């Protein structure tokens, strides 16, 4: 073979041919340096070829094939090709996007330096009995370090427990251990016997769920693990993970948020102490990410725990995929390559003929529908493990005067909970002090110049901030329009609730948890510690707090301002609201006493709140599905959205009108809707519009999109940026 076809990180739907006489089939999936224009680019070899359609004099020679790390395996190349086809996104961008940044750079990978800790003579002499029994982390570190004369990687030791880093520091100060820099070896798959620390005895429902998966035929089986909050879904995952590890297989565990990884990581580590766990998420630095990726690719890591990007990780011995909180919209990327990690995970499991478990208390309607019609098999956990489900009630806010957005009923419940020495959470899905600043005398409001959105008042920082484009400015002293000095914050955000509570309940220890207060590295970690150590009475937080956390002392949850998405134009809004409220409510009463959830609303009779109070997702979901079927919405139809951006709205709309006309020329039965301005028409100085196309069948939609995409390229012109969003979650 004398040619290679190379994927390059460029927005063109094509591979690039180069001469490479020395390339063999072993190099498929390898990185390669090639001349591109006047620069040198890193690409990935996707195919070998004996001919090329280019004139021979135009085919350039590849500079070198990088064999420093193993090539991408065939199944991953297959996944990436599928991803490119399905999302109608250039293969080169898809392939390069899947590589850790360090492997996209031109320098060959030279191996890394790592820091190890090892015992000193003094450390070796420390007798375990001389330490207090509660110094569990130090004892574990000493035990581990005794087994490894050359020392152990700092990252491995830190992963043992959140407080391992502090323990390492103290132990260094005592002179028990020392740091040494070593060349980091790539982890290799070793034949270590699996050590499993037993977990709790399973409940009957957990047992039945695990038994169903165990007794199923080998091969691709998609499971929906539908378990109410607190029903112990994680325990089911861990049992299944244990089965797979025992057969020497790897497991891919996908979670929606990096905030959730430390907790799960600690749990998994405690259960399988000798199994290498590779975390993969955007919170890692590049060398950590590469290291973990290589540990996964070599087969050394038994478990890969990551956010959506981890779905592309090469795993030679993959035997099971778990997607926790599968309904979560963070599995869908919303710019660039708009893929759904959950859907790709399903494709991957099917391709490899392995089981996949989708876990949720409120499955996505797409998933629920497939479970109802039998394409997925259902595992149900209907009861909490040791505790009663929380009591959920609505507080009718039409009748009650609110104090800074909070009702008397909620305030007095907060007071009582605090007296009992238990924790509460006030949930409000808006950060900042108030969503807008306004002038009562002329009606001016703080708008963002670059977006069709309001600037949010951040009182603590004395700033007005746009949550969409990042623009910020000082809080004006007087109305810019009429000079009135008495500007009023309108509505509530976390900061306002926090300061109101501090005023009304002066003795309460309040902790605000939102994107602003957790921005600092390890801030969230410290907050979790404070909550567990009961140094906090009332948490005020956004949805950062809602997901998956287990705070045993938390008994009361108050929900403020939930109504805003009740009558949204987005047909998915109520599905999402139900999921979010179920998650928040699920934080209550996970410890000894029964939880209570108070939802403040102007619409207590709304079906959504009614179903929520009965804790009856299936009934609500079936109702939504019936509505969707009637109205012709997903999952009964398949959609794609063509999104366009330009400096003028007319430019974007004109392009979409041309696009619709081009679409009408394509032979197909898809419905092409009229172009409309986007839900938020202006963002970061660009005007946005969109056009939805819809089909009764998936293949029908994709056949149309393929033909249409070619025509779109010609219709666009320079002034418009456009992108296709397949299976869009936001309209
Ligand atoms: P979910 O993810 O379904 O909301 P979790 O997996 O977080 O629930 O489990 C809720 C709590 O119950 C956790 O504290 C977990 O440790 C505990 N738990 C789970 N299974 C069992 C069991 N079989 N016996 C005792 N405790 C359990
Ligand atoms: Zn004014
Ligand atoms: Zn803005």
Ligand whose nearest atom lies closest to the CA of 230: 1
Cα 481 to ligand 3 centre (Å): 20
Cα 590 to ligand 1 centre (Å): 9
Among the residues of 505-546, which ranges form H helices?
Answer: 523-532
pLDDT reading at 97 higher than 90: yes
Beta-sheet pairing, 250-254 with 303-306: parallel
pLDDT reading at 194 higher than 80: yes
Tokens 């750079």 locate to 105
Mean pLDDT throughout 159-173?
86
| Cα 155–Cα 157–Cα 160 angle in degrees, nearest 5 | 110
Mean pLDDT throughout 56-85?
94
pLDDT reading at 540 higher than 80: yes
> How would residue 214 be classed by pLDDT, with cut points 50, 70 and 90?
very high
Q: What integer pLDDT is reported at residue 149 of this predicted model?
A: 80
Cα–Cα distance between 283 and 288 in angstroms, integer? 10
Mean pLDDT throughout 239-254?
96
Closest CA to 252 of 267, 260, 266, 240: 240
For 200-230, give the DSSP string.
Answer: PPPPHHHHHHHHHHHHSPSS--EEEEEE-TT
Ligand whose nearest atom lies closest to the CA of 465: 3
Mean pLDDT throughout 551-572?
90
Question: Which atom, in ligand 1's list, is nearest to the CA of 586?
Answer: 4
* Torsion, Cα of 475, 476, 480, 485 (10° steps): 130
Question: Atom 15 in ligand 1: which residue has the minimum CA distance?
Answer: 232
Tokens encoding 599: 């939802």
Tokens encoding 274: 């000798």
Q: What integer pLDDT is reported at residue 113 of this predicted model?
A: 65
Ligand whose nearest atom lies closest to the CA of 587: 1
Cα 460 to ligand 2 centre (Å): 23
Q: What is the spatial order of strands in the sheet that 538-541 belongs to?
A: 391-396, 596-601, 554-559, 423-427, 538-541, 510-513
Ligand whose nearest atom lies closest to the CA of 264: 1
Give the phi and the psi of residue 62 in degrees, each rounded to 5: -65, 145
Question: Which atom, in ligand 1's list, is nearest to the CA of 552?
Answer: 14
Closest CA to 385 of 234, 195, 213: 234
Ligand whose nearest atom lies closest to the CA of 480: 2
Cα 488 to ligand 2 centre (Å): 10
Question: Which atom, in ligand 1's list, is nearest to the CA of 231?
Answer: 3
Mean pLDDT throughout 435-450?
96
| Weakest mean pLDDT among 270-284, 342-356, 686-700 | 270-284
pLDDT reading at 393 higher than 60: yes
pLDDT tens-place string over residues 638-681: 999 999 999 999 999 999 999 999 999 999 999 999 999 998 99
Question: Atom 13 in ligand 1: which residue has the minimum CA distance?
Answer: 232
Q: What integer pLDDT is reported at residue 26 of this predicted model?
A: 95
- 615: alpha, beta or left? (left if phi > 0; alpha if psi -120 to 50): left
Q: What integer pLDDT is reported at residue 112 of this predicted model?
A: 61
Question: Which atom, in ligand 1's list, is nearest to the CA of 324?
Answer: 2
- Please give the residue that has the higher pLDDT: either 248 or 133: 248
Question: Atom 2 in ligand 1: which residue has the minimum CA distance?
Answer: 233
Cα 200 to ligand 1 centre (Å): 9
Give the phi and the psi of residue 86 in degrees, each rounded to 5: -70, -40
Q: What integer pLDDT is reported at residue 637 of this predicted model?
A: 97
pLDDT reading at 365 higher than 90: yes
pLDDT reading at 594 higher than 70: yes
Closest CA to 261 of 234, 294, 241: 234
pLDDT tens-place string over residues 370-384: 999 999 999 999 999
Tokens encoding 529: 């510690």
Query: Which residues does ligand 1 sit against, CB inside 6 Å?
Result: 200-203, 206, 227, 229-235, 385-386, 550
Question: Atom 14 in ligand 1: which residue has the minimum CA distance?
Answer: 550
pLDDT reading at 189 higher than 70: no
Tokens encoding 341: 């990690």
> How would residue 156 be classed by pLDDT, with cut points 50, 70 and 90?
confident
Burial class (CB in 10 A: 0-12, 13-18, 19+), 109: middle
| Weakest mean pLDDT among 162-176, 431-445, 637-651 | 162-176
Half-sphere exposure of 380 (CA within 13 A, CB side): 7
Q: What integer pLDDT is reported at residue 405 of this predicted model?
A: 93
Cα 368 to ligand 1 centre (Å): 23
Q: What integer pLDDT is reported at residue 504 of this predicted model?
A: 97
Q: What integer pLDDT is reported at residue 502 of this predicted model?
A: 97
- Please give the residue that has the higher pLDDT: either 351 or 282: 351
Pocket test for ligand 1, best of 228, 385, 585 (most atoms within 8 A of CB): 385
Strand ranges in 514-579 using DSSP code E only, listed in sequence order? 538-541, 554-559
Question: Which atom, in ligand 1's list, is nearest to the CA of 381?
Answer: 3
Q: What integer pLDDT is reported at residue 111 of this predicted model?
A: 65
- Let me know: does 371 contact 363? Beta carbons within 8 Å: yes
Cα 615 to ligand 2 centre (Å): 47
pLDDT reading at 188 higher than 80: no
Q: What integer pLDDT is reported at residue 709 of this predicted model?
A: 92
Cα 483 to ligand 2 centre (Å): 6
Question: Atom 18 in ligand 1: which residue has the minimum CA distance?
Answer: 232
Q: What integer pLDDT is reported at residue 661 of this predicted model?
A: 96
- Let me know: does 30 contact 52? Beta carbons within 8 Å: no
Cα dist from 706 to 77, 142, 641, 699, whole Å: 20, 60, 14, 11
pLDDT reading at 701 higher than 70: yes
pLDDT reading at 357 higher than 90: yes
Question: Atom 17 in ligand 1: which residue has the minimum CA distance?
Answer: 232
> How would residue 131 be classed by pLDDT, with cut points 50, 70 and 90?
confident
Closest CA to 625 of 550, 574, 700: 574
Question: Atom 24 in ligand 1: which residue has the minimum CA distance?
Answer: 200
Q: What integer pLDDT is reported at residue 192 of this predicted model?
A: 58
Ligand whose nearest atom lies closest to the CA of 239: 1
The model carries a pTM of 0.89
Mean pLDDT of all residues belonging to the chain:
92
Cα 281 to ligand 2 centre (Å): 46
Mean pLDDT throughout 442-455?
96
pLDDT tens-place string over residues 10-56: 998 899 999 998 899 999 999 999 999 999 999 999 999 999 988 88
Question: Atom 9 in ligand 1: which residue has the minimum CA distance?
Answer: 232
Distance of CA 500 to the CA centre of its chain: 32
Cα 463 to ligand 3 centre (Å): 13
Cα 103 to ligand 3 centre (Å): 35
Mean pLDDT throughout 609-628?
95
> How would residue 584 be classed by pLDDT, with cut points 50, 70 and 90?
very high
Question: Which atom, in ligand 1's list, is nearest to the CA of 267?
Answer: 16
């Amino acid at each position: 073979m004398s040619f290679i076809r190379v994927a390059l990180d460029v927005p063109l739907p094509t591979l690039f041919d180069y001469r490479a006489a020395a390339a063999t089939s072993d190099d498929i999936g390898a990185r390669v340096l090639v001349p591109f224009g006047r620069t040198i680019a890193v690409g990935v070899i996707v195919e070998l070829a004996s001919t090329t359609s280019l004139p021979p004099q135009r085919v350039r020679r590849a500079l070198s094939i990088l064999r420093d790390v193993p090539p991408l395996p065939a199944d991953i190349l297959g996944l990436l090709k599928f991803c490119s086809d399905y999302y109608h996104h250039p293969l080169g961008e898809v392939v390069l996007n899947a590589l850790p940044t360090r492997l996209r750079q031109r320098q060959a990978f030279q191996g890394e330096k790592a820091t190890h800790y090892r015992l000193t003579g003094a450390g070796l002499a420390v007798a375990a009995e001389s330490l207090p029994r509660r110094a569990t982390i130090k004892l574990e570190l000493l035990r581990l370090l005794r087994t490894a004369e050359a020392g152990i990687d700092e990252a491995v030791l830190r992963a043992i427990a959140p407080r391992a880093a502090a323990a390492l520091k103290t132990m260094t100060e005592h002179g028990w251990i020392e740091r040494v820099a070593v060349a980091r070896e790539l982890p290799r798959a070793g034949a270590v016997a699996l050590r499993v620390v037993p977990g709790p005895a399973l409940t009957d429902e957990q047992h039945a769920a695990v038994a169903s998966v165990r007794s199923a035929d080998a091969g691709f089986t998609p499971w929906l693990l539908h378990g109410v909050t607190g029903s112990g879904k994680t325990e089911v995952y861990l049992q299944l993970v244990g089965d797979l590890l025992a057969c020497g297989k790897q497991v891919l565990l996908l979670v929606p948020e990096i905030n959730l990884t430390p907790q799960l990581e600690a749990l998994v580590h405690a259960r399988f102490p000798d199994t290498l766990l590779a975390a993969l998420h955007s919170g890692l630095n590049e060398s950590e990410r590469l290291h973990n990726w290589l540990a996964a690719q070599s087969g050394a890591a038994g478990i890969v725990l990551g956010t959506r990007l981890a779905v592309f990780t090469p795993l030679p011995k993959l035997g099971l995929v778990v997607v926790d909180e599968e309904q979560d919209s963070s599995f869908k990327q919303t710019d660039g390559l708009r893929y759904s990690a959950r859907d790709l995970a399903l494709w991957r499991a099917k391709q490899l003929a392995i089981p996949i478990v989708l876990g949720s208390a409120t499955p996505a309607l797409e998933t629920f529908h497939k479970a109802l019609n039998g394409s997925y098999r259902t595992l149900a956990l209907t009861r909490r493990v040791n505790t009663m489900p929380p009591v959920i009630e609505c507080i009718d806010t039409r009748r009650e005067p609110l104090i800074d957005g909070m009702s008397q009923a909620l305030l007095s419940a907060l007071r009582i909970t605090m007296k009992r020495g238990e924790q509460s959470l006030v949930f409000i899905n808006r950060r900042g002090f108030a969503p807008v600043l306004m002038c009562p005398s002329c009606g001016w409001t703080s708008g963002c110049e670059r977006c069709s959105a309001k600037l949010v008042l951040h009182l603590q920082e004395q700033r007005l901030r746009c949550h969409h484009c990042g623009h910020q400015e000082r809080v004006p002293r007087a109305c810019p329009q009429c000079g009135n000095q008495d500007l009023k914050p309108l509505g509530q955000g976390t900061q306002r609730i926090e300061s109101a509570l501090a005023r009304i309940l002066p003795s309460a220890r309040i902790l605000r948890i939102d994107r602003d207060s957790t921005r600092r590295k390890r801030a969230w970690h410290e907050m979790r510690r404070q909550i567990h150590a009961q140094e906090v009475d009332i948490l005020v937080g956004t949805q950062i707090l809602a997901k998956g956390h287990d705070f045993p002392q938390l008994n009361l949850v108050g929900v403020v301002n939930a109504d805003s998405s009740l009558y949204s134009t987005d047909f998915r809004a109520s599905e999402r609201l139900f999921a979010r409220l179920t998650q928040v409510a699920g934080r209550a009463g996970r410890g000894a006493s029964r939880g209570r959830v108070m939802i403040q609303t102007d619409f207590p009779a709304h079906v959504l709140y009614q179903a929520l109070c009965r804790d009856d997702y299936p009934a609500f979901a079936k109702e939504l599905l019936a509505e969707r079927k009637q109205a012709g919405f997903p999952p009964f139809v398949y959609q794609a959205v063509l999104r366009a951006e330009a400096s003028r709205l007319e430019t974007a709309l004109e392009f979409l009108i041309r696009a619709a006309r081009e679409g009408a020329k394509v032979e197909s039965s898809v419905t092409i809707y009229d172009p409309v301005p986007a839900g938020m028409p202006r963002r970061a100085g660009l005007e946005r519009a969109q056009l939805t196309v819809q089909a009764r069948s998936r293949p029908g939609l994709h056949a149309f999109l393929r033909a249409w995409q070619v025509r779109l390229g010609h219709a666009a012109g320079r002034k418009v940026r456009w992108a296709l969003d397949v299976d869009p979650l936001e309209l």
